[in-house]
Amino acid sequence: MNETSRSDLNAFFDPCNVAVFGSLREIPGTAYWVVRNMLHFGFRGDIYPINPDPSKYGEVLGLKSYADINEVGEAVDLAVVITPPPTIPEIVQKCATGGVKAAIVLSEGFTEAGEGGAELQRQLTEISRSTGIRIMGPNTFGVVNTANGLVTVPPYTDTERIERGGIAVCGQTGSIGPHQIPLEDWAYPVSKMCDIGNKCDVNEVDILNYLATDPETKVVAMHLEDVREGEGFIEAARRLTSVKPLVILKTGRSEAGARASASHTGSIVGTDRIYEIALRQAGAIRVNNWQELFEVPRTLLLQPLPAGNRFAVITLTGGQGVIAADSASASGLAVARFSPETTRNLSALSPRLGGNPVDLGPAMSDSRTMSSPNPFAAYGEALSLVLDDANVDCVTVVFACGRQTVPLFPMIVDMLSKSTVGHAKTVNVFLYGTNLSALQEMSRRLQAQGLPAYLDLDLAIRSLGYAAYYSRVKASLDESRLLCV
């Protein structure tokens, strides 16, 4: 494996130009759609479609096509290759000889497909080692960079735009790509995305080292089936977790999962206990499922880390408060005991308030509240009081909404946002109600104001638990660094 530096992967994520090899027919899963997706998402560099029969295509989407990379007449940074597997080693070798810095091999049919494919993959690895060209894949969708519009996925995607933000999502599956995930509907804040596929050259260690110093990326979410370089992985992960959170979904926990992983990418999977220990040593947050992989990073991105694990919940019903308390305990959080001052101030809102969970039901039914221009004002007042309490580190706000509350959304979001000002504490929101589109709209509005919202109470609270865990990890890493100075 080549030694890693950040500049090694720049050509994958920030190329000045891209050559795309493959069929230029207007069907999904071809080089045509790679070109079309790059144009659609606004890639700022030059694109060179390459096919051995340019007379058949001439221009593609307004771009001149070429029979060979040597005809381009410009130094090329990145090659994207989606051709039959037997043709690929020769194409990549020609790219390397011509000075191309990096190649993404989108095609499948390599190690995961048997010995013939494994031999082709070994050839790619040898080309990378002997020439210095970096190769991502094979069996990958490639990369996404929202800063420059680079999207190399070959399938059709009906996503109009990808929100530019601070979360990098990487893995060993095309299922994390913009053609598979409703990123636009979620308004999911992406910095980079990549699928390392079969890892003939670029692997998770390279990606971690690159993202550790990427200024666009604030949180990393990574799906892994296996790790090839255990010691290098731990070192790279520790470097990254010393400056930003790393959320990992390590699959293949069971024997059945391990067998499926081997057939998917040709992975060699070790025992899950070894991975559990390694991830803890690395300071990573290990999540349990696909939903957590995408959802936990939003609290880590949008909110400050909690100073401790003392948790409060503000809710409309007592039942939700009991559920929240149980979930907090299971997530490593402690239900906070309010100070006497907080208890008195909450009781002033309603005589039946004062404890944690904060059940606003009685205050909301007060006639003064019902006649107020903002019937939800008690939420803002209670949130400010709870955040003022030195015994509280993090809060989940439980809020019900539906079609009838849509006109009030701007006022409610503004109120909750203003209530958090001046408090360096971790806050997220659980939304529930009878209308999914209203819930999604409210979620997007809250997120735009820096308040992560969830449609699952347990997930919202687990996200706070993971944030508290990482806060302890980072403090420990910071202390170790100081001791080494």
Length of the chain counted residue by residue: 485
Query: Does residue 1 lie within any of the structural domains?
Result: no
Are 318 and 465 contained in the same domain?
A: yes
Indicate whether 268 pLDDT > 70. no
Would you say residue 481 lies in a domain? no
Do residues 451 and 356 share a domain?
yes
List pLDDT tens digits, range 86-138: 999 999 999 999 999 999 999 999 988 889 999 999 999 999 999 999 999 99
In a domain, 36, yes or no: yes
Q: 105 and 158 share a domain?
A: yes
User: Looking at the domain assignment, is residue 483 inside a domain?
Assistant: no
Partners of 144 in the β-ladder? 151, 193
* pLDDT score at 114: 86
* Residue 483: pLDDT over 70: no
Judge whether 478 lies within some domain.
no
Q: Using CA atoms, how far apart are residues 277 and 230, in angstroms rounded to an integer?
A: 11
Q: Which of 270, 299, 328 is the last residue of a domain?
A: 299
**How many domains does the chain contain in total?**
2
Dist. CA 258–CA 256, nearest whole Å: 5
Instruction: Work out the number of other CB atoms within 10 angstroms of the CB of residue 286.
Output: 18
In DSSP notation, 228-258 reads S-HHHHHHHHHHHHTTS-EEEEE---SHHHH
- pLDDT tens by residue, 303-334: 999 999 999 999 999 999 999 999 999 999 99
Q: Are residues 115 and 59 both part of a single domain?
A: yes
Q: What is the rounded distance in angstroms from the CA atom of residue 69 to the CA atom of residue 310?
A: 60
| Cβ atoms of residues 99 and 158 within 8 Å | no
CA separation, residue 190 to residues 37, 164, 296, 452 (Å): 17, 5, 14, 15
Q: Are residues 318 and 363 in the same domain?
A: yes
Which of 42-51, 139-148, 253-262, 341-350 comes out lowest in average pLDDT? 253-262
**The pLDDT of residue 375:** 81
83 or 174: which carries more pLDDT confidence? 83
Rounded Cα gap, residues 243 and 230, in angstroms: 21
Cβ pair 219, 244 in contact under 8 A: yes
- Tens of pLDDT, residue by residue over 416-436, are 999 999 999 999 999 999 999
> Whose CA is closest to 192, among 222, 176, 170?
170
Q: What local confidence, expressed as pLDDT, does residue 111 receive?
A: 86
Q: Assess whether 345 and 237 both reside in one domain.
A: no
Average pLDDT over residues 339-343: 96
Structural contact between residues 78 and 12, judged by C-beta atoms closer than 8 angstroms: yes
| CATH number of the domain bearing residue 446 | 3.40.50.261
- Asked if residue 310 and residue 247 are part of one domain, the reply reads no
Please state, in angstroms and rounded to a whole number, the distance separating the CA atoms of residues 399 and 108.
46
| C-alpha to C-alpha distance for 339 and 382, rounded to whole angstroms | 14
CB distance 2 to 129 below 8 Å: yes
Same domain, 383 and 292: no
Task: Band the pLDDT of 372: cuts 50, 70, 90.
Answer: low
How far apart, in whole angstroms, are the C-alpha atoms of residue 35 and residue 20? 7
Q: Where are the beta strands (DSSP E) in 316-470?
A: 334-335, 358-359, 394-400, 426-432, 453-454
Q: Are residues 149 and 236 in the same domain?
A: yes
How far is Cα of residue 430 from the mean position of the Cα atoms in its chain? 20
Q: Can you tell me the mean pLDDT for 358-366?
A: 82
Over residues 161-169, the mean pLDDT reads: 97
Q: Are residues 174 and 190 in the same domain?
A: yes
Q: What long-range pairs does 257-260 form, CB within 8 A, spacing at least 24?
A: none
83 Cβ neighbours under 8 A, 6+ residues apart: 21, 22, 23, 31, 91, 107
In a domain, 482, yes or no: no
**CA 453/CA 442 separation, integer angstroms:** 8
Which residues form the domain of 455?
A: 304-473
Whether 449 maps to a domain, the answer reads yes
Total-model pTM: 0.93
The residue from 249, 275, 299 where one domain ends is 299
Cβ atoms of 248 and 287 within 8 Å: the answer is yes
- Beta strands 142-145; 150-151: pairing state: antiparallel
Cα–Cα distances in angstroms (integers) from residue 484 to residues 40, 190, 240, 244, 472, in the given order: 49, 34, 18, 20, 19
pLDDT for residue 370 is more than 80: no
Q: Which of 299, 320, 336 is the last residue of a domain?
A: 299
Same domain, 113 and 37: yes
Residue 272's pLDDT is what?
A: 83
Answer whether residue 88 is part of any domain: yes
Q: Are residues 68 and 177 in the same domain?
A: yes
The two three-digit tokens of residue 67, written as one number: 């029979």
Q: What angle do CA 216, 77, 54 make, to 5 degrees?
A: 130
What is the overall mean pLDDT for the chain? 91
Cis bond leading into 182, ω under 30°? no
